[in-house]
Structure 1
Amino acid sequence: MGIRFIVKDPDPVLREVARPVPKITPNIHKLLDDMAATMYDAPGVGLAAPQVGILKRVIVMDVGDEHGLIELINPEVIAKEGEQFGPEGCLSIPGLQGDVRRAQKVTVRGLDRSGNEITVVGTDLLARCILHEVDHLNGVLFTDVAESVYRAEPRDEKDE
């Protein structure tokens, strides 16, 4: 597994629509492995292939819940319920956060690394992460959908 370079805004690759993966190959397996290693190293909770310069519909996520690492190829959101509003950041837009309105619960369908169809139901942070990463596949950044964008404040131990 290799750590890949994370593309930063305003790189135009982040505004492209990623292409579906027609066949799962060893190169796709390597991409999944490298994306997970890159996400954990950053550290982040999600990463989409365009963020490492690859215009394929591939995402990885790990929000630290019971799901663990989720790998999705050709993800498609099939249901959304409820609403949540809160801060988001992005590995491709360091130093900024924004308040984004997202669904509270999301159902997404895609393929796992073996080509099996899987369905993931996420709530709260996982729902937010799924929608954020799928947006990346469509060339949409959180700053496009945020109701406000602001500098991310470094945590100050005195405030805790």
Structure 2
Amino acid sequence: MTSKTVLTSPNADLRVISSDFPKEEFGTKETAALTRDLIETMRVENGIGIAAPQIGVHKRMIIVDVGNNKPQAFFNPKITSKSFTKIESEEGCLSVPGVFGIVKRHRSVTVTAQNIKGLNETFRAEGLMAIVFQHEIDHLDGILFIDKVLRYTTHPKL
């Protein structure tokens, strides 16, 4: 496991739309290493989620860990349905250090993704988990939380 450097805004690589994670890369040593590196980077940075583009890998892959200390990798994640209800919550981002703001997101989402073996999974995420999935999937589309912030709770140094 190697902790990687997290790209920070305004690095243009954070605005690149990521490509689908290729089928032929599931089950490879390289994918296992990338997964370990992302988990280690997220832990070193004290994050609860990280997307591959944040370390310069433009593939649709995210890691999510919201307190159970069992980070999971999700490949080609898609939000397939969203709650009508939205909630406002404070967000930060490893790629925008020291900046926090209020963002409005869906209270719950249904996510379809592939696991590390390439098998499809569909599940419902609510509350903090839903927020993290929306935040990390935004990274895959070149979107940062600062693009959606309603108001800053710290002064941005952008």
Q: What TM-score results when the alignment is normalised by the length of structure 1?
A: 0.90
Identity level (%)? 35
**Alignment partner for residue 103 of structure 1, among 90, 103, 106?**
106
- Structure 1 outlier segments of 4+, above 6 Å: none
Measure, in 2, the Cα distance between the counterparts of 1:32 and 1:77: 21
Q: 3-state SS of the aligned residue for 1:130?
A: helix
Measure, in 1, the Cα distance between the counterparts of 2:48 and 2:151: 21
Which aligned pairs between 1:15-94 and structure 2 lie closer than 5 A? Answer: 15-23=15-23, 24=26, 25-65=28-68, 68-81=70-83, 82-94=85-97
Q: Deviations over 1:1-45 (max 9, x none)?
A: 111110111111100000101122321221111101111111000
Equivalent residue, structure 1, for 2:5: 5
Deviation for aligned residue 1:70: 2.1
**Consecutive unaligned residues in structure 2, runs of 5 or more:** none
Q: 3-state SS of the aligned residue for 1:8?
A: coil
Equivalent residue, structure 2, for 1:144: 147
Q: 3-state SS of the aligned residue for 1:151?
A: coil
Which aligned pairs between 1:123-134 and structure 2 lie closer than 5 A? Answer: 123-134=126-137
Measure, in 2, the Cα distance between the counterparts of 1:5 and 1:41: 10
Measure, in 2, the Cα distance between the counterparts of 1:27 and 1:142: 29
Deviation for aligned residue 1:124: 0.7
Deviation for aligned residue 1:69: 1.7
**Alignment partner for residue 120 of structure 2, among 112, 117, 123?**
117
Q: Which amino acid aligns with 1:131?
A: Q
Q: Deviations over 1:112-149 (max 9, x none)?
A: 11111112321111000000000000000000011112
**Consecutive unaligned residues in structure 1, runs of 5 or more:** 153-160
